[in-house]
């Protein structure tokens, strides 16, 4: 049944920064028989997944998960970790969207704006945090709209070196980074770091995962208005008994179980290195054809490359052409970057051979001699 449904669809190789390519074996893993989510088999499944997730997040603390997407943990982070005021750092579309969530939740906040395409750097953050006004910092690890990865390790080290550094919750959106761009939850002493399954985890959309520190768990217990579905205290209570508070998203967990095995077999350090190598390959191939990076070259994302449309090509026409080759890439994000930039995702289960196929197709579109 699943085969016939899938076979009736055309497969289009996704060079989009989510949803990304998903391997057939991961899709197949989802089709396991249903079980009751309080049956021992479900508890065993969660018990098996937990330590593997910890290895990928590089933490010995909890990695919570919930059916839904990463945006849920945007809200959870604000509701469960902020009491006084949160400092948001913005440098692209997603960091700006997170501010809207904080607005919607009604928590006090300030915004420290960095130019789109530039990295979020520690110094101005520290100047703001020194005022003692804030008890949380919200920062995006991998800004999917600009293709820039922010130096979370340096930011976190600078925050912790402040006299009040331990009282500031470091909340990291690594929605399109985690497992592709290096993130070391315990070593970097973070409080929340979350991601979505449809990004570097290379799974279908539908599962959000979030590492939480003991520090944030203790703080959350003292806060009112944590909400219901994304309350980390509720999620942690169930997690500790190998369960979920609501019905377990079993197909997602079947897929996660298999995908985590694949990730650990590759080795997390090797996985980070592969993503960097793929980024370097994409940048070099793009540069050869005359495309320049949109963002700061020293902070290029290992997961997605954002090229400025320096050749002034018709990106919609390029994608129309790529569709005939059963591929698609991503136009620039939003009104600000549409047709001015385009993105090639190289995260998860996209490999250099796939990227080579993409560049060969781009060459066909550009015409002979355009490949430099
Ligand atoms: C950096 C970043 N944060 C948050 C989101 C929202 O994630 P989701 O659509 O999984 O809720 C995205 C989606 O692309 C993203 O790239």
What is the spatial distance between Cα 101 and Cα 88, in angstroms, rounded to a whole number?
Answer: 11
Collapsed DSSP state (helix, strand, coil) of residue 98: helix
Question: Which of 94, 172, 201 gets mutated to test ligand 1 (max ligand atoms within 8 A of its CB)?
Answer: 94
Inside any domain, residue 178:
yes
235, 352: one domain: no
Q: What is the mean pLDDT of the chain?
A: 96
Question: Given pLDDT bands bounded at 50, 70 and 90, which one contains residue 8?
Answer: confident
CA–CA dist 229, 222 (Å, integer): 18
Q: Where a domain ends, among 265, 295, 326?
A: 265
For range 290-296, the mean pLDDT: 98
Structure tokens at 11: 């497969």
Distance 38 CA to ligand 1 centre (A): 30
Question: What atom in ligand 1 is closest to the CA of residue 174?
Answer: 1
Task: Examine the domain organization and report whether 168 and 305 are in the same domain.
Answer: no
State which of 265, 299, 318 marks the end of a domain: 265
CB 91 within 8 A of CB 115: yes
Measured from the CA of 205, which atom of ligand 1 is nearest?
A: 10
Q: How far is the CA of 100 from the centre of ligand 1 (A)?
A: 13
Ligand 1 atom 7: residue of nearest CA: 70
Which of 221, 46, 181 lies closest to 172 in space, CA to CA?
A: 181
Residue 326 within any structural domain of the chain: yes
Distance (angstroms) between ligand 1 centre and the Cα of 319 equals: 22
pLDDT at 368 over 80: no
Are 89 and 211 contained in the same domain?
A: yes
140 part of a folded domain: yes
**In a mutational test of the pocket of ligand 1, which residue from 20, 71, 89, 207 has the highest number of ligand atoms less than 8 Å from its CB?**
71
Are 206 and 318 members of one domain? Answer: no
pTM over 0.75: yes
Residue 3: is its pLDDT beyond 80? no
Do 217 and 250 belong together in one domain? yes
Residues 155 and 85 in one domain: yes
Examine the domain organization and report whether 33 and 170 are in the same domain: yes
Per DSSP, what are the bridge partners of residue 192? 171, 212
Q: Are 285 and 355 in contact (CB under 8 A)?
A: yes
Among 70, 74, 95, residue to substitute to test ligand 1 (most atoms within 8 Å of Cβ): 70
The two structure tokens encoding residue 114: 């960095």
Residues 337, 143 contacting (CB under 8 angstroms): no
For residue 247, what pLDDT is reported?
97
Q: What is the pLDDT of residues 212-251, one digit of tens each?
A: 999 999 999 999 999 999 999 999 999 999 999 999 999 9
119 and 225 inside one domain? yes
Q: What is the pLDDT of residues 35-66, one digit of tens each?
A: 999 999 999 999 999 999 999 999 999 999 99
Whether 180 and 249 map to the same domain: the answer is yes
Which has the closest alpha carbon to 366: 279, 284, 286, 283? 286
Centre of ligand 1 to C-alpha 139, Å, is 13
Q: Domain check: are 169 and 48 in the same one?
A: yes
On whether both 55 and 200 belong to a single domain, the answer is yes
What CATH code is carried by the domain that includes residue 232? 3.40.640.10
* Mean pLDDT value across residues 270-276: 98
Beta strands in 41-187 (DSSP E): 62-67, 86-90, 109-113, 136-140, 142-143, 148-149, 169-173
For the chain, how many structural domains are there in total?
2
Which residue, 246, 265, 284, sits at the end of a domain?
A: 265
> Per the domain annotation, does 371 fall within a domain?
no
The answer to whether 26 touches 356, Cβ cutoff 8 Å, is: no
Q: How far is the CA of 144 from the centre of ligand 1 (A)?
A: 8
Q: Residue 2 has what pLDDT?
A: 55
Whether residue 63 lies inside any domain: the answer is yes
Ligand 1 centroid to Cα of residue 288, in Å, is: 30
Tokens of 248: 């377990």
Q: Whose CA is nearest to atom 6 of ligand 1?
A: 71
Alpha helices in 106-171 (DSSP H): 122-129, 152-160
Tell me how far the alpha carbon of residue 257 lies from the centroid of ligand 1, in angstroms: 22
Q: Is residue 123 part of a domain?
A: yes
Residue-number span of the structural domain to which 214 is assigned = 24-265
Section 202-216 average pLDDT: 98
In angstroms, what is the span from residue 368 Cα to ligand 1's centroid? 37
What are the pocket residues of ligand 1 if the criterion is a CB atom closer than 6 Å to any ligand atom?
18, 69-71, 94, 140, 144, 173, 175-176, 196
> Any idea what the CATH number is for the domain that residue 308 is in?
3.90.1150.10
Answer yes or no: is 297 within a domain: yes
In sequence order, the 6+-apart residues with CB closer than 8 A to the CB of 237 are 245
Atom of ligand 1 nearest to the CA of 177: 1
Could you give the 3-state DSSP secondary structure of residue 121?
Answer: coil
| Distance in Å, CA 159 to ligand 1 centroid | 25
Among 136, 176, 118, 101, smallest CA distance to 343 is for 176
| Shared domain check, 53 and 7 | no
Nearest-atom number in ligand 1 for the CA of 17 is: 14
Atom index in ligand 1 nearest the CA of residue 198 equals 10
Residues belonging to the chain: 372
Does 157 or 10 have the greater pLDDT score? 157
Q: Mean of the pLDDT values across residues 256-275?
A: 98
The answer to whether residue 372 sits within a structural domain is no
Helix (H) or strand (E) holding 179, with range, is none
């Amino acid at each position: 049944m699943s085969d016939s449904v899938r076979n009736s669809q055309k497969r289009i190789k996704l060079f989009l920064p989510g949803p990304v390519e998903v391997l057939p074996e991961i899709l197949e893993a989802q089709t396991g028989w249903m079980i009751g989510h309080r049956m021992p088999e479900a508890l065993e499944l969660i018990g098996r997944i937990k330590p593997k997730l910890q290895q990928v997040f590089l933490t010995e603390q909890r990695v919570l998960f919930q059916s839904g997407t990463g945006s849920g943990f945007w809200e959870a982070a604000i509701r469960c970790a902020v009491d006084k005021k949160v400092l948001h750092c913005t440098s692209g579309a997603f960091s700006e969207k997170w501010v809207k969530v904080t607005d919607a939740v009604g928590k006090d906040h300030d915004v420290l704006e960095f130019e789109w395409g530039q990295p979020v750097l520690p110094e101005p953050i520290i100047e703001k945090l020194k005022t003692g006004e804030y008890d949380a910092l919200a920062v995006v690890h991998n800004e999917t709209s600009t293709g820039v990865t922010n130096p979370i390790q340096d930011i976190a080290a600078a925050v912790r070196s402040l006299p009040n550094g331990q009282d500031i919750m470091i909340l990291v959106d690594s929605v399109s980074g985690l497992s592709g761009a290096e993130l070391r939850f315990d070593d970097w002493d973070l409080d929340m770091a979350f991601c979505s399954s449809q990004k570097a985890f290379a799974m279908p959309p539908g599962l959000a995962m979030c590492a939480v520190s003991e520090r944030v768990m203790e703080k959350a217990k003292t806060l009112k208005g944590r909400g219901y579905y994304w309350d980390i205290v509720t999620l942690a209570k169930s997690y500790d008994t190998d369960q979920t508070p609501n019905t377990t998203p079993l197909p997602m967990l079947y897929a996660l179980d298999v995908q985590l095995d694949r990730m650990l077999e590759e080795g997390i350090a090797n996985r980070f290195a592969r993503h960097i190598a793929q980024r370097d390959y994409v940048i070099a191939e793009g540069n050869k054809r005359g495309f320049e990076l949109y963002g700061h070259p020293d902070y290029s994302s290992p997961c997605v490359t954002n090229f400025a449309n320096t050749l002034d090509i018709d990106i919609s026409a390029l994608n129309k052409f790529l569709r005939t080759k059963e591929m698609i890439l991503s136009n620039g994000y939003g009104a600000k970057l549409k047709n001015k930039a385009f993105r090639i995702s190289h995260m998860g289960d996209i490999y250099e051979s796939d990227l080579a196929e993409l560049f060969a197709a781009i060459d066909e579109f550009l015409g002979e001699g355009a490949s430099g």
